[in-house]
Amino acid sequence: MTEDQLIKELGSEQKYEFGFVTEIESDQAPKGLNEDIIRLISSKKKEPAFMLEYRLKAYQHWLTLTEPDWAHVDYPPIDFQNIIYYSAPKSKPKLNSLDEVDPELLRTFEKLGIPLEEQKALAGVAVDAVVDSVSIKTTYKEKLAEKGVIFCSMSEALQDHPELVRKYLGTVVPYTDNYYAALNAAVFTDGSFVYIPKGVRCPMELSTYFRINEQNTGQFERTLIIAEEKSYVSYLEGCTAPIRDENQLHAAVVELIADEDAEIKYSTVQNWYPGDFKTGAGGIYNFVTKRGICKGRNAKISWTQVETGSAITWKYPSVILKGDNSRGEFFSVAVTNGMQQADTGTKMIHLGKNTTSLIISKGISAGHSNNSYRGLVRIGKGAENARNFSQCDSLLVGDQCGAHTFPYIEVGNSTAKVEHEATTSKIGEDQIFYCTQRGLDEETAVGLIVNGYAKEVLNQLPMEFAVEAQKLLSISLEGSVG
Amino acid sequence: MLSIKNLHASIDDKAILKGLNLEMKAGEVHAIMGPNGSGKSTLASVLAGKEDYEVTEGEVLYHGKDMLDMAPEERAGEGLFLAFQYPVEIPGVSMVNFMRASLNSIREYRKQEPLSAGQFLKLMREKKEIVNLDDKLLKRAVNEGFSGGEKKRNEIFQMAMLEPSLVLMDETDSGLDIDALRIVSDAVNQFRSKDNAFLVITHYQRLLEYIVPDFVHVLSEGKIVRSGGKELALELEEKGYDWLKEGVGA
């Protein structure tokens, strides 16, 4: 079936705009996971020896683990031997100019709204484009280098800055952290690497665009962002995948390190293929570990996520507040529709004195979907005067969906102040009628109401992407009323 | 302009309107009065197309078109406006954005070009003066944190923006102090023309001192039991509604 037929079949109930496949030859490893595959990945990427060693240790550890089942999601067991762990568009690697990028891939990104020609790109946004297992192009590299900023794919970082990777990789999310973190450490293929030197304010938004293209491949990306003292960076990732009947696994690890007085702002607009609207067939399993550490005093890490895609989302971007006076923030909008399931939230681990954290979560469930917020606020013994405020709101559209909140609070210091507020509301028929009486059709009305509901979070996104995210919210909820 | 014939409507299988007839021409102001529970607000909701109500019998023609077949947004596009008795709040959606989306979708329905941001803001500045609506309110979310009176003025402001041909006012006077009542009435009187018509639903005669109707109808138990000129409102004020019920029975 061609993509056009597929889209037609999905009808007006759901428009996943990015469901096309790029016809391009790719260099793939055979299906399955074993030490040979890991050696193959490492040699394909010409990695330094320490990396292979690390991968193999992670793999051995992974073999001792069992898949976690505590999340409020339901799916058949994953056959890890039926996944392709390495797939790269041929004609790579190392591109010195855009002329060497396959024109088919350029068109793909053009179609996704991410032009890779610098003159066409959004002003002030540098992009790293990752297809399946590899990065195909990073824009504005030279311009960033003038300021000492390193922005490249993880593969390149392993070639050009192995000492930095070695120093930081796995320090925030060790491979022993959890099942998917171990798997990722063993088989990760690419991702972005960002290094902001001391005192530098990164002059543009950095952004990575992840695209899964090939069938049966998993995407295991690894991102590492290091912000030295008094530096600042804002980073955004976006992701899409073709419409396919099978589930595909995306298990990423993201590590952020913010030193004294540094600030990292990390935004995600996640729009993986969510699976069939009615049957739930296909779609991406998005099992991701994201964590940052505020290492020094006054460091700040802020996560903003707009999650609209994926069949299953399992993700808790977290902050370890180690430095005194450091701050962690988490702003989230998670939309589930059709048969989607999401279990997402954050962990704020307060260790330093006077540390503060803020959690704003807006869950929106429609169709037959299930949407859970799961969050942990832990105040360590030494975290004098730590403060947390959490607000978790759930909005229900229709009466076939579910919203759940699982807040965990652990307080080990009596000077701490932790506040948690939660609300659940149904989208009001009166609100919809008010809008339709003013000439808006029902879907526009729902889009408007939901965007209003999520505004606090959308306001946190870099301006270039806020408009995109608003449209995405409205599109994700099409077919949810009437 | 509007022709209602033998309209029956129910909610949750409970009949509320039981054979209502009403004819309205352009340029006219009709008042609907009646005791609580007589079906006044139901009439407004049914005409605007609220889903909870089921029309079981009868027809409503608007400019000769079958209105009962249209979705609420189509009725709005055709020029129907309902000033709500209880305007809802829509958190996070600014009045400015809401109004622009509303105006432009109605213009789209009428195959008119959307207004540019500049044109739109100019129009809004003009219209807000009419109802003396504070700038601050327009920057806030729709009806959020508005006082009762501000909500009602906001309804009339929206009416002025959208320039409908048929305006249903559902107890717009409730919750208004005398100054606000005067502002709202002045705005309505200013907007009245030979091309539009008003259906003013009210429990009290007070509003009709300011918005003087051409016809007054008394609604009781889902039917219009009596119609007359503006003097009928005074009579009702004096005698209450009970004598009418007895009158029907006799």
Separation in Å, CA of B246 to nearest CA in chain A: 36
CB A214, CB A87: distance < 8 Å:
yes
**Which of A136, A191, A152 is CA-nearest to residue A24?**
A136
- Alpha-carbon distance A386 to A415, whole Å? 7
pLDDT (average), residues A275-290: 85
**Over residues B212-224, mean pLDDT:** 93
pLDDT at A94: 46
Q: Give A77's pLDDT tier (boundaries 50, 70, 90).
A: confident
Nearest-angstrom CA–CA distance, B247 and A62: 87
DSSP label of B87: P
Pairing mode, if any, of strands A232-240 and A205-211? parallel
Q: What is the mean pLDDT of residues A344-364?
A: 95
Distance in angstroms (rounded) separating the CA atoms of residues A193 and A157: 7
Q: What is the DSSP string of A205-233?
A: EEEEEEE--STTB-B-BEEEEEE-TT-EE
Q: Are A202 and A231 in contact (CB under 8 A)?
A: yes
Tell me if B71 and A441 make a contact (CB, 8 A cut-off).
yes
Give A286's strand partners. Answer: A250, A313
Look up residue B200 and give its two tokens: 């003013």
Kindly state the percentage of chain A with pLDDT values over 70. 82
Total count of residues recorded for chain A? 482
User: For residue range B25-36, what is the model confidence (pLDDT) as tens digits?
Assistant: 999 999 999 888
Judged by DSSP in three states, A124 sits in coil
Dihedral over Cα of B169, B172, B178, B184: its sign:
negative
Residue A6 has what pLDDT?
A: 34
Kindly report the average pLDDT of chain A as a whole number. 84
Distance CA B121, CA B133 (A): 14
| Residue in A243, A270, A200 with CA at minimum distance from that of residue A465 | A270
Does position A2 have pLDDT exceeding 50, yes or no? no
Q: How far apart are the first and last CA of chain A?
A: 29
Q: How far apart are CA B131 and CA B137, in angstroms?
A: 12
Calpha distance A115→A121 (Å, rounded): 5
Token digits of residue A312: 């299953």
Mean pLDDT in residue range A337-356? 94
Range of weakest confidence among A57-71, A338-352, A456-470, B64-78: A456-470
DSSP run (H or E) holding A154: helix A154-160
Residue A247's CB is within 10 A of a number of other CB atoms, namely 19
Percentage of residues in chain B with pLDDT exceeding 70? 97
pLDDT of A109 reads 67
What are the beta bridge partners of residue A135? A130
The pLDDT confidence band at residue A185, using thresholds 50, 70 and 90, is very high
DSSP for chain B reads -EEEEEEEEEETTEEEEEEEEEEE-TT-EEEEE--TTSSHHHHHHHHHT-TTEEEEEEEEEETTEEGGGS-HHHHHHTTEEEE-SSPPPEEEEEHHHHHHHHHHHHHHHTT-PPPPHHHHHHHHHHHHHHTT--HHHHHSEETTT--HHHHHHHHHHHHHHH--SEEEEESTTTT--HHHHHHHHHHHHHH--TT-EEEEEESSSHHHHHS--SEEEEEETTEEEEEE-THHHHHHHHH-SHHHHHHHH-
Q: What is the average pLDDT across A78-94?
A: 73
Q: Can you tell me the distance from the alpha carbon of A330 to that of A65, in angstroms, rounded to the nearest whole number?
A: 29
Nearest to residue B101, comparing CAs of A435, A41, A477?
A435
Dihedral pair phi/psi, residue B8, rounded to 5° = -115, 130
What SS3 class is residue A334? strand
Query: Which residue in B41, B80, B93 has the most chain A C-beta atoms within 10 A of its own C-beta, making it the best mutation to test that interface?
Result: B93
Q: How far is CA A437 from CA B49, B133, B147, in A?
A: 8, 21, 22
Residues of A in contact with B82 (CB under 8 A): 437
Minimal CA separation from B215 to chain A, in Å: 26
Q: For residues B98 and B146, what is the distance between their CA atoms, to the nearest angstrom?
A: 15
Q: What confidence score (pLDDT) does residue A182 get?
A: 95
Q: List CB contacts (< 8 A) between B84 and chain A.
A: 434, 437
A448 contact residues in B (CB cutoff 8 A): 90, 93, 97-98, 101
User: What would the two tokens of residue A93 be?
Assistant: 């690697």
pLDDT greater than 80 at residue B242: no
Which residue(s) pair with A206 in the sheet?
A: A126, A235
Q: What's the sign of the alpha-carbon dihedral B109, B113, B118, B124?
A: negative
Q: How far apart are the C-alpha atoms of B152 and B174, rounded to whole Å? A: 9
Find the CB nearest B93 among A441, A442, A448. Answer: A448
> Does residue A108 have a pLDDT over 80?
no
Query: How many angstroms separate the CA atoms of A197 and A148, rounded?
Result: 6
Phi, psi for residue A475 in degrees, rounded to 5: -65, -40
Per the CB < 8 A criterion, the answer to whether B181 and B95 are in contact is no
Q: Could you read off the pLDDT of B153-211 as tens digits, one per residue?
A: 999 999 999 999 999 999 998 888 888 899 889 999 999 999 999 999 998 888 999 99
Rounded Cα distance between B60 and B49, Å, is 11
CB contact under 8 A, A439 and B92: no
Q: Which residues of A touch B141 (CB under 8 A)?
A: 452
CB contact under 8 A, B91 and A437: no
Q: How far is A317 from chain B (nearest CA, A)?
A: 25
Beta strands in chain B (DSSP E): 2-11, 14-24, 29-33, 53-62, 65-66, 80-83, 90-94, 141-142, 166-170, 197-202, 215-220, 223-228
Decide if A467 touches B, using CB distance below 8 A. Answer: no
Number of A:B CB contacts under 8 A?
Answer: 76
Q: Assign A93 a pLDDT band (cuts: 50, 70, 90).
A: very low
Low-confidence winner among A256-265, A409-418, A445-454, A464-473 (lowest mean pLDDT): A464-473
Which range is least confidently modeled, A75-89, A295-309, B44-58, B108-122? A75-89
Using a CB-CB cut-off of 8 Å, the residues of chain B touching A395 are none
Q: Is A364 helix (H, G, I), strand (E, B) or coil?
A: strand
Between residues A33 and A117, the one the model is more confident about: A33
Length reported for chain B: 250
